[in-house]
């Protein structure tokens, strides 16, 4: 009985090993049309920037600036409780822009459809963040 079990397992293993008799390297070549040597050469080739891209390493500041969506209050409507309804468009947009300029958040709550209290709170947080020696004058009005 034990020999029969061993023989069955061995036969199954041999059959499974023979199911895909194709060499893995040739399977990759046929699928992509490249030889292994071409694939290796491509992998070793230096990466070059696409046309119009800078090959200089970008600074963390530029990466951060590019990770934020632009502030767009153009479609905002004056809803009850919004800063736009409370202050009017011109003053609300000024407060919103100051908030956006100073906020360290990647998605700041500086939209004029939020309450002025939220916007001022985020502006205050931004004005108190990090080195405050070069903050704009409008930070003096929000920092205690």
Total number of domains in the chain: 1
Count of helix runs (H) and strand runs (E) in the chain:
8, 0
Note whether residue 88 is domain-resident: yes
Note whether residue 119 is domain-resident: yes
pTM: 0.54
Confidence of residue 65 (pLDDT cuts 50, 70, 90): low
**Cα 118 to Cα 111: distance, rounded to the nearest angstrom:** 9
Residue 19's pLDDT is 58
Residue 29, pLDDT > 50, answer: no
Span 50-70, mean pLDDT? Answer: 58
Note whether residue 68 is domain-resident: no
Confidence of residue 95 (pLDDT cuts 50, 70, 90): very high
Note whether residue 124 is domain-resident: yes
Mean pLDDT score of the chain = 75
Place of tokens 């609300």: 92
Domain that holds residue 138: 80-142
Note whether residue 130 is domain-resident: yes
Q: Which residues contact 99 (CB under 8 A, 6 or more apart)?
A: 108, 109, 110, 119, 120, 122, 123, 126
**Cα 94 to Cα 136: distance, rounded to the nearest angstrom:** 13
**Cα 143 to Cα 125: distance, rounded to the nearest angstrom:** 9
């Amino acid at each position: 009985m034990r020999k029969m079990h061993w023989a069955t397992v061995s036969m199954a293993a041999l059959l499974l090993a023979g199911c895909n008799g194709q060499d893995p390297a040739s399977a990759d070549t046929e699928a992509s049309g490249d030889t292994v040597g071409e694939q290796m050469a491509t992998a070793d080739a230096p990466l070059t920037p696409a046309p119009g891209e800078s090959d200089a390493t970008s600074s963390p500041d530029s990466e951060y600036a590019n990770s934020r969506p632009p502030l767009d209050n153009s479609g905002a409507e004056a809803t009850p409780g919004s800063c736009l309804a409370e202050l009017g468009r011109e003053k609300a947009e000024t407060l919103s822009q100051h908030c956006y300029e100073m906020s360290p958040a990647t998605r700041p709550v500086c939209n004029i459809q939020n309450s002025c209290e939220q916007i001022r709170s985020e502006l205050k947080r931004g004005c108190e963040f990090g080195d405050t020696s070069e903050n704009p004058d409008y930070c003096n009005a929000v920092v205690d």
